[in-house]
Structure 1
């Protein structure tokens, strides 16, 4: 379990906690750089995996429906 101090109040929280249980601050365990990096990774994952799979499955469904 990886604990980090909250960026708002300094209370030790798990790094994946959404809200600090002490002060209610948003994403208390992640720095701005880590939040940006995780958002970019999600965008890349969506662009490279989810969108092509959706297009491919739509093409397969259309081929059999026509």
Structure 2
């Protein structure tokens, strides 16, 4: 498993998880309904961040995680 996609990556919880995953060597992508400073920080750390949710956003992901928030 190399690529993890996080739905809700701009939130407090999943943005922190994204940073841990990136630091552990995973390829991380994610999506959120709106851009935010947390989403930008994850983007700056190396994640691909999509604004808006669409099926094509998860293409190539080995695991998809969603926030319940």
TM-score between both structures, scaled by the size of structure 2: 0.23
More helix by share: 1
* Greater relative contact order structure (CA < 8 Å, 6+ sep): 2
TM-score between both structures, scaled by the size of structure 1: 0.24
More strand by share: 2
